[in-house]
A and B are shown apart, each in its own frame.
Chain A
């Protein structure tokens, strides 16, 4: 594995380490770490850093939904135009083009159930090109971005030789 691959792997686990700390782990200099990160950011390989929030715990009323969207593709641009329109809404957390029985997978987050329902009925469904939507509400989060929401139980004894 190259230093770049190793660095990306660490950042996937934890993006909040200092360059000095990363440098120690990779056995390179902090300046080299900064250089690789800059390169990754400028080439669009790293597009940002965010926290993974346990949303439903953080705000008991908040609701997220996973929506299957069927779309009629347009000449020239296929699904991209519709996807771009959907992606710009602040309620939308993620948009993916999918293989299989539907076309776009859209994750939506609202401060309450009604928010999400209204978003689907008033904004998403009437969009040009959208044929149908199927909304699935997220009931519980177990794992996101490699991180477990459920407490990992360590079966090992606390202290062993």
Chain B
């Protein structure tokens, strides 16, 4: 059962991703990305790391995407111009390059022997939490500081008088 759910969530994520790639409007793109992130959060929970799923939704979907959307609004929603960039090579050829990466990834994955996802024991989450506050305590604090510093990046320029 979980398998089907995971598969369905994966499919959905990929579909929304492609929609984001093809979207004409940046708002639509942002919303599609939001949907992808929610799908991945779902997968996390199904895989047996609920805390992480929660974190994903909170930080990523909640904070980052909001910032992105705000910036999109500030930039005027993006002119309805060309979606895709110009290349010296003809466009299909450029797309082919990216496709090649995808194919390679697929081949790599196919060659590895994947095992069935086992729903994690409850102990995993507890251990995760313990890690966050013991082994990774310093890292967690550092990350907090980092996010604070990152926010300083938004400070505006000193206007030349």
Q: Do A and B come from one complex?
A: no
The interface of chain B, by Cβ under 8 A from chain A, is none
Q: Which residues of A does B touch, CB under 8 Å? A: none
